[in-house]
């Protein structure tokens, strides 16, 4: 691994941590700060969401219904020039804002980052899925 690649690992982790904190805070502006303008979010059971405007709308809709608490339980970053891949695992709680429903999940995901012209790293792709068996509602 090159010295530059080894040095980039902590910077990429910092973006992942900023994203996690922003999601947990329900802060759409801070979430967008982690994303490249043309980034693609690929949530489970949902079409791909591309670009800042669509990502902001997606998270506003999520936060209108529930509060999320994510923990990244493992992360491995591989830097390949101006692209970084982060394989991660997570635990999450989604608590309804209009009832007492609380859904707990564990799973894994893949983040793809791109080094920007200013040297910073931004998320360009995010996909994740649960390790739990499908529920009746999403298995149909």
Q: What is the pLDDT of residues 44-85, one digit of tens each?
A: 999 999 999 999 999 999 999 999 999 999 999 999 999 999
Q: For the whole prediction, is pTM greater than 0.75? A: yes
Residue-wise pLDDT tens digits, 13-49: 999 999 999 999 999 999 999 999 999 999 999 999 9
pLDDT category at 136 given cuts 50, 70, 90 is low
Distance separating alpha carbons of residues 132 and 87, to the nearest angstrom? 18
pLDDT of residue 134: 81
pLDDT at 121 over 60: yes
The mean per-residue pLDDT over the stretch 108-136 comes to: 94
Give CA separation, 15 vs 18, 93, 115, 123, 124, in Å.
5, 21, 11, 8, 12
Q: d(Cα 3, Cα 57) in Å, to the nearest integer?
A: 39
Q: How far apart are the first and last CA of the chain?
A: 45
Chain centroid to Cα 55, Å, comes to: 11
Which residue segments constitute the domains of the chain, with CATH numbers given? 3-131 (3.10.450.50)
Which pair of structure tokens corresponds to residue 129?
């899925």
Is residue 33 within 8 A of residue 48, CB to CB? The reply is: no
């Amino acid at each position: 691994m090159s010295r530059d690649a080894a040095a980039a690992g902590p910077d990429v982790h910092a973006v992942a941590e900023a994203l996690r904190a922003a999601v947990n805070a329900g802060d759409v502006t801070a979430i967008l700060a982690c994303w490249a303008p043309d980034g693609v979010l690929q949530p489970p059971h949902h079409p791909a969401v591309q670009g800042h405007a669509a990502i902001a709308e997606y998270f506003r809709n999520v936060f209108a219904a529930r509060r999320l608490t994510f923990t990244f339980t493992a992360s491995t970053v591989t830097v390949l020039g101006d692209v970084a891949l982060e394989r991660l695992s997570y635990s999450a709680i989604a608590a309804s804002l209009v009832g007492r429903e609380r859904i707990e999940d564990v799973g894994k995901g893949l983040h793809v980052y791109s080094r920007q012209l200013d040297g910073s790293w931004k998320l360009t792709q995010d996909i994740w899925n649960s390790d739990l068996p499908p529920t009746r509602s999403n298995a149909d």
